[in-house]
Chain A
Amino acid sequence: NAGVTQTPKFRVLKTGQSMTLLCAQDMNHEYMYWYRQDPGMGLRLIHYSVGEGTTAKGEVPDGYNVSRLKKQNFLLGLESAAPSQTSVYFCASSDRADSYNEQFFGPGTRLTVL
């Protein structure tokens, strides 16, 4: 099993450009999450999904959109990138059957917005 994978690993954007980050998991997990990690801020939840076709806002959703068209994929979109969105983005997934919600993380995508 590959676990949780993220594409791309690195990206540099100019202000105003758009992009989509892809997260894929092969563990048949129901729940998927997008976090951003910034120095001194820990991990902050952007959006999450509790199943195919569903999404919900997290702590810092502004400027981002998500879609969960397939159970194994969770896409994070930036429609008009801003320098404040420079960050490392992590995707995670967890199993609905796990009462304690252990999450499995991808390796991250480092995004720089100039």
Chain B
Amino acid sequence: GNSVTQMEGPVTLSEEAFLTINCTYTATGYPSLFWYVQYPGEGLQLLLKATKADDKGSNKGFEATYRKETTSFHLEKGSVQVSDSAVYFCALSASWGGNTPLVFGKGTRLSVIA
């Protein structure tokens, strides 16, 4: 079946450090890939997405590239801020047409200290 595996946290970084959160997936066909972010006490928000191989999603300084050859969608940011402290979820949508629910990874908690 379809699944998403992301690195376990928590991840603690100093402000301005480089961030990588690894995500790999298993899916049939050509899934769409997403990163969602959950700030403390809130619901999930879409951070970025990529819908085909070699696509790069980007938003708020975060980037992730859809790598079909390695079935990966790693999240990166060059210089993190305290305000980036949150839980990050990698997810995939395996069906074109929207009637297949998303499959989520278990989430990675990021804490950024000043």
Contact = CB atoms under 8 A, between A and B. Distances in A.
Interface of A: 4, 30-31, 33, 40-43, 45, 48, 50, 58, 90, 92, 94-108
A42 to B, nearest CB: 4
B105 A42 contact: yes
A5 to B, nearest CB: 10
A43 B98 contact: no
Q: How large is the interface on B (under 10, 10 to 19, 20 to 34, 35 or more residues)?
A: 20 to 34
B2 to A, nearest CB: 11
Contacts of B49: 100, 102
B67 interface: no
Contacts of A105: 36, 43-45
22 contacts: A4-B43, A31-B98, A33-B101, A41-B106, A42-B104, A42-B105, A42-B107, A43-B104, A45-B101, A90-B43, A95-B98, A99-B97, A99-B98, A100-B32, A101-B32, A102-B34, A102-B46, A103-B44, A103-B102, A105-B36, A107-B42, A108-B43
